Amino acid sequence: MCLPGTYKTIENTDYLTYDRPLAENILSGKGYCIHNGTIPSRTPGYPVLLVGGILLAALLHTAPDTTILILHFLCLALSTVLMYRLSRFLWVRSVSAIISLLWLAYPLMLWLARQPASEIPFILVSYFGLFLFFVSMEKNDKSMLRFVLIGLLFGASMLIRPIAIGIPIVITGVFLFIGRKKQWKMRAIQSIVLVVTAYGTLLPWQAWWYFQTSEYMFLSQGGLPGMRDGLTYAVQKAKYRQQFVISEDVRTVMRNVSDNQNVLVSTSRVGVFMLNELTRDPVAVLKLIGLKMMRSWYATDSGRYETPIMLLQAGYFVVILIGSIRVFGRRTLSSIQRKVSIYIIAIVAYYWLMTISVLSIVRYMTPVIGLLFIFIPGIWQKNDQEKAMPGIPHL
């Protein structure tokens, strides 16, 4: 990408503080720890991928960051191919190609890809798992091995980014709910295989963590700090963050959370505290929730560029909303097309809820915004232009 020098600087604090040092320490024989010897409760998926990138850089005699960026762009290219394949469940070839190009040119995606970020390989792994699941569903596949593979991919996505922790439940829940009743037993078995495989993928990480710390951890300990950060971001004194403009009553709620962080040591305690705040000032808490709902689609961790991102997103979402309404309003939708559309909405809703529950920034939503692009052609597309791919009906 042709960017001024200031925009080429790596600003991803997760990469600089945790991911890259973890990968370097693994390679140096120090093990999975950061520079001070601390064992982080961060999932190992992305640091392990970075180990491969650093080894490849050494083999090619290139700078590690450059090699890692090249690999990220390769992941982006492959995810664009998967976007095309996912779009083919609803649209003909030419329209699907347009969707994949729109995704490739999406400014927030390109901005994310300009520096090392776990979201890039996460998108590739997640989209691949979702594509295989849709193929199985469309073909009414009874093969358990395919569902094992899908489960492994969803498990790998959780190890890269813990935000996907509930995706196997969402996928199988919808799978059981919208299928034919006479095939419910088979779907139930396939769902169990998928869920067990997905969460079974986490066992080596869980076992390693337990033997190192004598503590049990399901996936990551980042959820609680993320929740507190999302409830206090405007009153924190972080140097990299700009001043956030919010109403005084919402700021008061944030200050109350910040002042009591020493007792908010679990998600349940955070929940109880917020219920008490809701009783004390329901309007302020509801305004905070509404703010977090909106900020999920445009906000940044630092607070920079939020106004232009908001305007950009507004344009995209008007188009996506119109396209979505027209897609769901069509009576000509086939069974697989309607099911795929429902899955997209369910997955996006899940990520939205997860983002609202922690620091509500658009970076967490970007991986699934691409799925909403599949609805855009609903604005203009007819259903009689081209024969669909064999086994995949067209819209």
Print the SS3 string covering 108-155. HHHHHHCCCCCHHHHHHHHHHHHHHHHHHHHHCCCCHHHHHHHHHHHH
Taken in order 126, 132, 137, 141, the sign of the CA dihedral is negative
What is the overall mean pLDDT for the chain? 90
Least confident of 24-38, 332-346, 353-367: 24-38
Instruction: Return the pLDDT at 395.
Output: 42
User: pLDDT over 90 for what percent of the chain?
Assistant: 70
Count of beta carbons in the 10 Å neighbourhood of residue 142: 12
Instruction: Return the pLDDT at 10.
Output: 58
AA letter at 81: V
Instruction: Look at residue 391 and tell me whether its pLDDT is greater than 60.
Output: no
Instruction: Return the pLDDT at 386.
Output: 42
**Across 344-351, average pLDDT:** 97
Instruction: Look at residue 390 and tell me whether its pLDDT is greater than 50.
Output: no
Condensed to tens digits (0 to 9), the pLDDT of residues 113-146 reads 888 899 999 999 999 999 999 999 988 888 899 9
Instruction: Return the pLDDT at 239.
Output: 79
Instruction: Return the pLDDT at 9.
Output: 56
Token couple for 129: 């798992």
Instruction: Return the pLDDT at 12.
Output: 67
Instruction: Return the pLDDT at 142.
Output: 83
**Across 248-276, average pLDDT:** 94
**Across 351-371, average pLDDT:** 95
Which residue pairs from 34-43 have beta carbons closer than 8 angstroms and sit at least 24 positions apart in sequence?
39/209, 39/212, 39/213, 41/209, 41/217, 41/220, 41/221, 41/222, 42/18, 42/220, 42/222, 43/158, 43/159, 43/160, 43/161, 43/162, 43/205, 43/219, 43/220
Instruction: Look at residue 242 and tell me whether its pLDDT is greater than 90.
Output: no
Answer whether 146's CB lies under 8 Å from 136's CB. Answer: yes
At 231, the pLDDT band (50, 70, 90 cuts) reads very high
Q: What is the pTM of this model?
A: 0.92
Instruction: Return the pLDDT at 384.
Output: 39
Instruction: Return the pLDDT at 143.
Output: 84
Instruction: Return the pLDDT at 169.
Output: 97
Instruction: Return the pLDDT at 1.
Output: 46
